[in-house]
Structure 1
Amino acid sequence: MITRTAATIVAATAAFACAVTAAPAAAAPAATPVATAGAAASDSNAGSLVLIGGNLKEDATILQRIVDLADPDGDGPATARIAIVTAASSTAKTAADAADDSLNNASANGLYYSALFERFGAETYAVPIDTAVNFAGDQYKPSNANDPKVAREVAKSTGVFFGGGDQMRYVRTLFDCKQATDEAFTSCTDTKVMTEIRGVLDRGGVVSGVSAGTTIQQGADMVTGGEPYQAWRDGTTPGYLDDAAALAHLPYGGFGFFQEGLLDSHFTTWGRQARMIKLAEQTGHDLVVGVDETTALVVDRATRQGEVIGRNGVSLLDTSDTVIDGAVGTGTRWSYLVSGDHVDFATGEITPASPRTEGRGTDAAPAPIADVWDSIDNPDAGVYSLTDLALALVGSVADQAEGTTFETAPQYRTVLDRVDGTSWWDGGFEGLEVSIEPVD
């Protein structure tokens, strides 16, 4: 769920990944997928995923990869057909709004993304599904999710792209769920269109998405909103909350295409590590995969291999040994992968694209920083603060670095520790230990 404005944007794990070939230090057990509710409807592990963390910026590397993966015969991009699903966006209020591809609504975004993928040589089909109908002649409507004609058009596709917005809109439009006042769904079934989307993947196609379009692809306990500070202070609530700052999750989850762990977008861009450590610990998940903006994790579902492409990074938070006692959290291991880095989810092995360094660096120890979680309440908030601190630490002579939250009463401190198995490379690292505690 997007909870910040564009103005705000401007203004891990050795224990998971530690089957490291270059360093035979104690390796953790291989990661295994968590059984998920949403995953139950998938018939195979065929196909590929391209999980984009947000703010696509028309990145050519990411877009070209999606088109290439949607070309199952290898005959060139002319054979790729991408179904564009944008129901996570707001609903167009007028026909003029729906036709203006510079606006942010489901119909306008369908036009925008269709034109974008066509520039890369793909045929497109804008799937006309939305959460409501607001004007006469609106082609985007909820009933189309069970329209056989629309489903047949999706079935002709070799790839699917999910736009951003609010992932709960995908739940409301592509699933038929038992209603509850708090929307804490535990049981859902697929609409006809959702069934055909699964078919695209099961036939070896690609499912891709940006922001909410990435988050929706996990299974059980999908995050539905929440800011890091409130998440750490208060914990998670099942359902979908009116208070966007409060941490909440959907027990049934999303589509279940990605079964390796919890997913989150805009991840270290917006300092979301704390919220997902809390969610994983409370819901019993051993791995969090967080994707930064203008970055994608490409996953081959059959081999369980992941590759990072794009401009920033992908975080792996191993929460298998995380313990949260009151407001004190220990035992999380954080790894950060950048473009060209690979991860084998079956074994936990991380393969960097550049040479790996073990031990300390030569730079000066980083100073403590304020607003380490990039608070939405801070008018001067930055981005990537905790990641910048981690990268400064691994390249320095120090073994520890820390930062505090912008919020007080209580205020929290995040401590990063270099431990056995920590290593680093150009732009990335493996196995920093993360601890969170109240400030005395």
Structure 2
Amino acid sequence: MSISAKRFASLILLFALSNIEVHAANGSEKETKTQESIKLNAKQHQLMLVGGGLKTCSSLSQKNCLTARFDEQDKQQNLYQFSPNRLTALYAAPPFLQQSENYRQDFSRVIQHIYSRQQDKLLTRTQLRDAFDRTQFQHINGAIFYDEIPAILFDAMLDYLEVAQTDSHGQRKKERVDLANNSNQSALSIYQHFVAMAQSRSPSATHGKAKIAVITASSRDPFESADFYTSVFTQAGADVLWLPLDQSYQQARALEALGLPGCKQLSTVRAHNGSYNREAIYPERTQQQQHFCQHPELMLEQLSQVQGVFFNGGDQSRTLAALTLPNGADSPELTVIKQRLAANLMVVGGTSAGTAVQSGSVFSGRPVPMISSGTSETAFKRGAFAAAPPPESCASHSPCINGLMGGDLTYRALGGTGLFQLGILDTHFSERDREARLTLLAAQTSSRFGFGVDETTALLVGWQNNDLAMQVIGQGGVFIVDLAHSIYKLQGSKRQVVGMSHYLTHGDKVGYNDKTQSLDFTLAQPQPFEANEDGVWRNTVRQACGATEPLRWQQGDIAIVLMPSEDTHFNHAQQQSNLTCSYHSLPFGMEN
């Protein structure tokens, strides 16, 4: 794609600095725009990439419901208990034993003080926090102590103190979803559309239900969200199964391949991955995982029969570990998924981490990285690091491990699954002002494209040969950074990037033509703006939709300017600020 040389040169001049090395990539021809219907075709797309934030009515998230329709048979909250047996198990766990002797003594004193007051009461998460807050003696402030518990020990504490809950029939209480009572219609539509995509691949596409597998490997505790996703897609009209495929499963299978008893040691492997005592809370699911581990052909058999696979949100690094072997090669499970996806027998969806993990493989001779952490402001200060992300507990202002800071932009250079090869994928996008971090990562890794998906929004992707057809659905939008014609300047810690941006909302389409290496846009009619007010870039452009003059603002230490050109196209309605604003071919520059 090309832009007016005069306009592009003007934008470059805004950011020109002396004695800074400039990198400019070659681009393609100007994209063309055609007017098409925005009717969705479930058969057309193979991927659904959701940006997270699918607000869903459930017994654990009743704030997302129109009315409260749950009872004591449903799991409505986690419960915790300070009891001798639970505390003994916690004190014997490695996360506790790995702490210093002084810290172990202080931790035990705090816990025993709480136990003396609570005895065997059942506590909610809020009440658990309150119990710490009310603990004050000598040099210990309970509220501060709670906030500073090491992450690995904090997770172990929650897991060992958690109480198994049963209903009136003695069955484990489950989180129940109530889609018919969902207050957010966009989230409901996204679920339903994924089921329709899978249904279109069903052998009995007209009458039979689509069979969908949910994989919750992104979570520290993959068992916790299994009830949620099976309930979601069952109510959305599918035949659903949960597959116990996670990094612990994959590691146990690797031990088995070496002749070691990995499957019998799954509890120990899970603990190594930060998930403890799950057998006590989810006995049937942990047994299911051990059974599949001992009979891995069952996992492949199930994946060979489903028409859809959906990945949850959390940590994309965990999901990738569930889908790859210790040497980084595709696991047998990922191989089956890729084969069925290529044969158009299956669709794949994911939300948040389940989306970010899908970028990878190679595009235009360059590996497509997988983003793993970071903030925009820190990215521009310190650049991007091809390293594992720092722990969540690491403060943004202090060093963590390997010289990283808490807010550092990290990525996996070899990418994720590679199901999406056109560019980097990012999520929770406008809401967390991630335009600068995505742009910086694309520039530093010489990636042409980056795609940022807003919350409660999905990017649908289909392909024929090497051409891609994409469409946006949901309440937000998809931001595309295109660095075909770009400038990346670096001098010390000062960074500047000049490139092209596009932002598509519900019904908008974009195609990538591999032969011409160009994007072709079709913008739909503006929709009522449903998203919240988070997102400085999104809202600045929306409020000035159709502008012909430059737009400038400051995002922390980052200065941003958008310069509409004669090639910029906005899709907006005059004097209607309550509508979405789509656009394409809008040059931008940013510097710190």
Q: 1:429 aligns with which of 583, 587, 590?
A: 583
2:459–2:471 CA contact under 8 A, matched in 1: yes
Give how far 1:301 is off: 2.1
Structure 1 position 227 matched with structure 2 position 375: yes
Aligned twin of 1:213: 354
Contact 1:70 1:82 in 2 (8 A): yes
SS at match of 2:193: helix
Pick from 416, 420, 425: which aligns with 2:562? 416
For the residue of structure 1 that corresponds to 2:438, the secondary structure is helix
Note if 1:125 corresponds to 2:241.
yes
Quote the residue 2:311 is aligned against: 162
In the TM superposition, residue 322 of structure 1 has moved relative to its aligned partner by 2.1
- Specify the alignment match of 1:350 in structure 2: 521
The alpha-carbon deviation at position 158 of structure 1 amounts to: 0.6
Q: Distance in 2 between matches of 1:386 and 1:282?
A: 21
- Provide the rounded CA distance (Å) in 1 between the counterparts of 2:332 and 2:379: 36
- Residue type matched to 2:505 in 1? V
- What residue is the counterpart of 1:404 in the other structure? 554
2:389 is paired with a residue whose SS is coil
Give the Å deviation of 1:270.
Answer: 1.0
In the superposition, relative to structure 1, how do residues 351 and 16 fare at CA in structure 2: closer, same or farther (>3 Å)?
farther
* Overall identity of the aligned pairs, in %: 28
| Counterpart secondary structure, 2:485 | coil
Structure 1-normalised TM-score? Answer: 0.74
Q: Deviations over 1:74-112 (max 9, x none)?
A: 624733111101110112xxxxxxxxxxxxxx1121211
Find the partner of 1:191 among 307, 318, 331. Answer: 331
* Separation in structure 2 between the aligned mates of residue 433 and residue 234 of structure 1, nearest angstrom: 24
Where does structure 2 lack aligned partners over 5 or more consecutive residues?
4-26, 36-43, 57-186, 249-269, 271-275, 361-367, 391-404, 527-531, 573-580
SS in 2 for 1:252: coil
**Contact map agreement 1:129 1:140 (CA 8 A) in 2:** no
Counterpart position of 2:33: 21
SS at match of 2:309: strand
Match of 1:184 in 2: none
State whether structure 2 residue 192 is matched by structure 1 residue 51: no
TM-score by length of 2: 0.56
- Report deviation, 1:22: 6.9
Q: Residues of 1 paired with 2:287 and 2:540: CA distance? A: 48
| Residue 19 of structure 2: aligned partner | none
140 and 437 in structure 1: CA distance in 2 versus 1, 3 angstrom threshold: farther
Work out which of the two has the higher radius of gyration on C-alpha atoms and give 1 or 2.
2
Q: Is the 8 A contact 1:330 1:435 kept in 2?
A: yes
Q: Distance in 2 between matches of 1:145 and 1:389?
A: 55
Once the two structures are TM-superposed, the CA of residue 345 in structure 1 deviates from its matched residue by 1.4
Paired positions, count: 352
Q: Which has the higher helix share?
A: 2
Displacement after TM superposition at 1:202 (Å): 2.4
How many Å apart are 1:271 and its aligned residue? 0.9
CA distance in 2, matches of 1:271, 1:167: 20
Of 173, 181, 188, the residue aligned with 2:322 is 173
Separation in structure 1 between the aligned mates of residue 582 and residue 2 of structure 2, nearest angstrom = 11
Local SS of the residue matching 1:168: helix
Which SS does the other structure have where 1:394 is aligned? coil
> What CA RMSD, in Å, does the superposition of the two structures yield over aligned residues?
2.7
Is 1:60 aligned with 2:206? Answer: no
By how many angstroms is 1:412 displaced?
2.2
- State the distance in 2 between where 1:17 and 1:214 align: 29
SS of 1:386 mapped into structure 2: helix
Hey, what's the Cα distance between the residues in 2 that align with 1:210 and 1:151?
A: 23
How many Å apart are 1:146 and its aligned residue?
8.4
- Are 1:149 and 2:316 matched, yes or no? no
- Alignment-derived partner of residue 251 in structure 1: 413
Q: Distance in 1 between matches of 2:432 and 2:385?
A: 21
- Structure 1 pair 433/139, CA: closer, same or farther in 2 (3 Å)? farther
**C-alpha contact (below 8 Å) 1:314/1:338 kept by paired residues:** yes
Find the residue that maps to 1:112 and give its secondary structure.
Answer: helix
Cα deviations by residue, 1:103-127 (Å, 9 ceiling, x for unpaired): xxx1121211111101121111101
Once the two structures are overlaid, the 10-residue window that deviates more, 267-276 or 346-355, is 346-355
